[in-house]
Structure 1
């Protein structure tokens, strides 16, 4: 085919709304030689049958920012391209049928205010006034967003495609990518087939926008794109006399959403037990296809809907639709540069929110590709959060049964996934279970989150109020504060960096000074060129040429990828050794006594001061101990090879009986760290947060040789801070904080909490969040009156810039 080029700057694979958006935004940035290849016809996979709901509010500030951008874009596309998008702002209503759901949606409403989204909490009667067809029996409250809307999914995609073509992009249908060619960590081109012909396009980069084919296309490109197609059901009624434009209605407690369109009602469902599809692969001829009806599966949703919307019982069903959509293991889409390759990008797996997300996702990815760095924090959706095992097809099949339904499930704090569990276990797993551990899951790791006491069921009982583990965590924290506690940190990432240039390399990539003595531990950050925080790590010098980088479990792959992408000409070897060692943390005022009881080593300040590591004998085994803390107490992290891990656990537990050693979980660690004001990566500190504004300037050494982000740090020192990360404690001990609650300063919203937990030792819920401070002193900030909005209720809060617990950091150094 003569119109298919032989070279392109970028080849976009997939012509759904996402691929069209990426092409549109790249061409809008002035990119030439943009080629989009669609295997069949544009929109023929999932886009054509999407419901077209376009909401503004998402679970985080930047995801909301992208959704709002999508709305604004779709509102202007018709004027730009002449293609009608059907976009209209009809508003949306979400109703609650329980007090717990009411708490959830009212917390979401508070969050919306912090994110700049217009929102209104409404009573059942006000719900009825705005949606007169609704049976409000059992309704406990609602939330109304007047700027939410709906649109025509296929036409939105076609408008984006036309906009891309108008700026020179080539959008080619019925052209299937048959092979992706690679050399090392780079793609060199793609082979295509079309109408009996075939050819090759050499390209500088590839974007996988293949939707439910994204997993398969990822494999072709040598990258992991975990997603699985599931069946998604909806019905469309016959025309209903007198039915006029209504807001989009969501009734998550009945797993249902309603959309009026052309005098008909579309009723869709996100049922709790979903049906994965195409386990043996998607049929090669799939195009605008429907899946077989399954009325029995949909019937419970329809029955509840006929009660909730009585007119449905009288209306005939015009269409029963079942179509496939792709779902990811955590219900967040995949965006960004794939960890395995240096020029393969991904925008796929949109979990039934592709229309509302496509505009913003396309914009963000295009900017990232154009500038070579993320335009703002995209950690929620960055493809590097996905672990290699999550591409396992059996895992995806099992997890996808749950993730579709989780869209409308109660989003309780600390809610754990129920499916695809038990995959990654620490060396202490069975021993912890035997002691009453209640496991949570993070990137596949089974982790002890809390410990049940005798007679207590070792399982979560979820609520927006105090959950059943509240007192357990309080007791665990008391042990760490007043005596001694032990918890499992084996899931934290461990990356070995070694070679003749290891010191110079880490000094280039990290803000700290790594030219230190063997055994010294350096706490620091990896920064980007803007001074934002890409990783928050401790680095231990093991020898002249070897270091151990310890990272959060969830970011191990991302942090390793950051190191690899910045290796340059440095002679280093980077190895993930996470599974090679188990790690137990022994923390509390009696930690030294416990360590001395199990080892002949010297744990004194003279031999093993804070921030150093040493090799020791422990019981009849060997270990390495790091004197650091994430809970603010005297303590050691004990690293032991997995073959001796069980012995070390038994030795510590036996010696600890006389000291009333208490086993603790991850929830305790989070409560302890927030009391101490320690930052949580991904919440309090991200790639968008400047290291100085995060209060971490002490961990950055600008007097050493040049390092990534040094210029941005020096500039910020000269120009001053625009905002500062502050710590808050509610003066009322009853309300709970999680994150995203609005911060009010002297009665005005100025930000939101980046993280929250209960400070059991300090006697109140605590949070951290950024507050604008341009031109202000510390005294100015602290002189203000602060409140936190909890589900619409303003609660007075104490505020601090230094840690509220042990501000001088003396307890860890005794």
Structure 2
């Protein structure tokens, strides 16, 4: 075949991900698709992947994508005649301590929301399912009979065969040497002297994706690590199973191990705590179907764990220690989506050792995004727009990514945070927070103060009562009755200016933007389906000047949405996040403390208004609002004066509060948050925010929402028992069936039990007619807890 001069879509990468995207694009009717592979199909990470596929995952999104993958892999052979090697072996996950058992039970409960069949079993049953293991230290396990495994290369070949049958052209031994743009948009792919002009380009080339994206000036923060698994020669204990009989996949996460049978022997792999990063300059340019050197010194601690769990390994003859590179991301979730920097360039990678399991579902999600121009399913945790360019710093990737692999099997405790690549972005008052005893978590590159007090008030992490509960209670009390500083400087700030600023924002935002100067409007940004892309507050500083305050992880997605919406509007917008600090000052004494910092009179502001204010030696402005739901202000101060303002507030009697306190108060107040209750699949009507929609202004999504009758609603939930400690995603039951999931949860110091926000699709008539509806249950780690629900905020309706 001859390389074409033009293609509708060019996909770079012929592994399982690139083949899946091509297959799904073609299946959806897209034509004129080209796949370019620098070597042979499957020659990268795909060929040496272990091929394990587990349905139960820690999140709803991952669970949906993997379940689709499994269904697809079972169908591909019938469609294409190419075997995928799909074998339903089931999987067995062991627990050797109470927290691990709680974690795997939580996954079982989440799975029930999707109708997945999984069973909690004891050590004796685990031994029956996997006769080769030692179970003296096992306190429980989860048996998932519908899990299995595939042959990764065969899956990719089946996908490529299905794609070819639908007209996709695939070129092997075709290395991309450059990417072209016109007017900032992707326009072509260079292969030496040849150029394929393209309407859109997809990068799905595994380890090399970051470097290929950089050819177009796009950011794709991922990095490679060495990943090990051992293969043995045949073992009598495995041979005794008989031809065609397989052991379940074994997951011993407390020992950092996974295992399965392989050609009458065993495959034993690890996610070792001290992983090895891999700079790509260590790989030869023609690295293809290759492996890295064996490193038995590095693998030996994992081997010792394996010998304790599977004593038969002592008699095994090792066939090889496979060391293959894989790519990981900063937060251990894969990435996909359109590049925020380069329109028309789509990126997918950083699969974090779940590429085979995710390939089918993620390839479908990417194909639909390309065709629709925006995501068609809930993909926030994988959306590439969660990463700002600042996070694509090589030094941060080199430090963080080995920790990501090493903590792959960590329990996902509330409060868990990575230890490496810390301090990248710090608030202008960071030094003051450190001196006050702040405990920080890294979120989106920012150091965020979650609570105050010694480390003893933070550790140990737990799924039960956290060590910080009492300390956060003091901070909650300060937010109500005192004057508590909440550092919100990580919030994004975007300045919008120009003669068409008001009209542009009325198109972008659902709320009315034609407010008087000095007013603040709360709004959502919606997509064409009426789903929430972001929520924000908008300050009008002049006839053609606005300041948008968005969530700390939303700047990239909002800026992209603004570029897509601008069209002929005479308007400019600038990310000014680093230029200003935002200090929340919450509590009944907030005004008194603020007044004590200055000889100038603090303006008597109505809610959602702002005005200039002096704070000690600093000058900024104050807005009358608080994300806690309590009385107070948000103070906006130039970054270089933020520390002096902070010092003046402390001298006047202000105290500190962190994110855990504000989260508890937010949920009590029923305030929705993007990425939790608000998602691109949630409408303002479902969220109870339709009153903020200014119909008639022509905002994006308005036509879809006219006459919208929601089939589900966001509700406040209060548990009957103080023993219930939800985190998020737990299934909600009504009349014995799953009707929704928890979105956010926290301990309520007002009610001395957990309070949550969830979305439900049952009892909607009763919820409209009654203030409080009983009869709901929430399943947490396989135990159901009674709860009541209301459309109103918890603090207003639960006595």
* Mapping 1:173-212, distance limit 5 Å: 173-193=172-192, 198-212=193-207
SS in 2 for 1:537: strand
Structure 1 residue 57: deviation in Å?
2.2
Residue of structure 2 equivalent to 1:565: 564
Q: Tell me which residue corresponds to 1:707.
A: 699
Q: Any conservation in 2 of the 1:279–1:397 contact (CA below 8 Å)?
A: no
2:405 aligned with 1:404: yes
1:665 aligns with 2:658: yes
**2 CA distance for matches of 1:279 and 1:262?**
32
Query: In 2, distance between residues paired with 1:358 and 1:167?
Result: 19
* Partner residue in 2 for 1:231: 226
Q: Secondary structure at the match of 1:377?
A: coil
Distance 1:392 1:763 in 2: 44
Q: Could you tell me which residue of structure 2 aligns to residue 274 of structure 1?
A: 275
Q: Which runs of 5+ in 2 are unaligned?
A: none
- In structure 2, the CA distance between the partners of 1:600 and 1:520, relative to structure 1 (3 Å rule), is farther
Shift of 1:373: 2.2
Question: In structure 2, the residue corresponding to 1:474 is in which secondary structure?
Answer: helix
Name which of 211, 214, 234 aligns with 1:219.
214
Counterpart selection for 1:793 from 778, 783, 787? 783
Could you say which residue in structure 1 is the equivalent of 2:158?
A: 159
> Cα distance, 1:247 vs. partner?
0.6
Q: Which moved more, 1:230-239 or 1:258-267?
A: 258-267
- The reply on whether 1:725 has 2:726 as its aligned counterpart is no
Contact 2:473–2:661 under 8 Å retained in 1: yes
Measured in 2, the distance between the counterparts of 1:781 and 1:287 equals: 64
**Structure 1 stretch displaced more, 680-689 or 126-135:** 126-135
> Tell me, what secondary structure is at the counterpart of 2:554?
helix
| 2:679 match | 686
1:556 offset after TM fit, Å?
A: 1.6
Q: Which residues of 2 match residues 442-461 of structure 1 at below 5 A?
A: 442-452=443-453, 457=456, 460-461=459-460
State the SS of the aligned residue for 1:693: helix
- 1:749 positional shift: 1.9
Deviation at 1:623, TM superposition (A): 1.2
Count how many residue pairs are aligned between Structure 1 and Structure 2: 791
Comparing 760-769 and 7-16, the one that deviates more: 760-769
Which among 634, 638, 647 is matched to residue 637 of structure 1?
Answer: 634
1:765 aligned to 2:754? yes
2:393 maps to 1:392: yes
Q: How far apart are the structure 2 equivalents of 1:124 and 1:404?
A: 28
1:531 aligns with 2:521: no
- For 1:550, what is the secondary structure of its paired residue? strand
Task: Answer whether contact 2:772 2:797 (CA < 8 A) is retained.
Answer: no
Distance, in Å, in 2 between the alignment partners of 1:62 and 1:439 is 27
Give the equivalent residue in structure 1 for 2:479. Answer: 480
> How far is 1:272 from its partner?
1.1
SS in 2 for 1:531: coil
User: After alignment, is 308-317 or 742-751 more displaced?
Assistant: 742-751
Q: Is the 8 A contact 1:474 1:761 kept in 2?
A: no
Q: CA deviation at 1:484?
A: 2.1
Q: Is the 8 A contact 2:56 2:108 kept in 1?
A: no
Q: Deviations over 1:752-782 (max 9, x none)?
A: 1011111122211111111114873423794
Match of 2:742 in 1: 753
Structure 1 residues 13-32: aligned runs within 5 Å? 13-32=12-31
Pairing 1:738–2:727 present: yes
Q: How does 1:128-527 map to 2 (within 5 A)?
A: 128-193=127-192, 198-243=193-238, 244=241, 245-280=246-281, 282-452=283-453, 457=456, 460-527=459-526
1:71-86 equivalences under 5 Å are 71-86=70-85
- Normalising by the residue count of structure 1, what TM-score does the alignment of the two structures yield? 0.95
CA–CA separation in structure 2 for the residues paired with 1:692 and 1:645: 38
RMSD in angstroms over aligned alpha carbons? 1.5
Q: Distance in 2 between matches of 1:592 and 1:230?
A: 53
- Tell me: CA distance 1:282–1:148, structure 2 relative to 1, closer, same or farther (3 Å): same
Q: Supply the distance in 2 between the matched residues of 1:60 and 1:559 (Cα, whole angstroms).
A: 24
Q: Indicate the residue corresponding to 1:627 in structure 2.
A: 624
Q: Does structure 2 conserve the Cα–Cα contact (< 8 Å) formed by 1:737 and 1:758?
A: no
Distance (Å, rounded) in 2 between the aligned partners of 1:783 and 1:477: 27
Distance in 1 (alpha carbons) for counterparts of 2:481 and 2:125? 52
**2-structure distance, mates of 1:781, 1:180:** 58
- 2-structure distance, mates of 1:282, 1:621: 53
Q: Can you list the C-alpha shifts for 1:72-103, whole angstroms capped at 9, x where unaligned?
A: 11001111111111001111111111111111
What's the offset of the Cα at 1:182?
1.1
**Is the 8 Å Cα contact of residues 438 and 450 (structure 2) preserved in structure 1?**
yes
| Contact 1:336/1:346, CA 8 A, preserved across alignment | yes
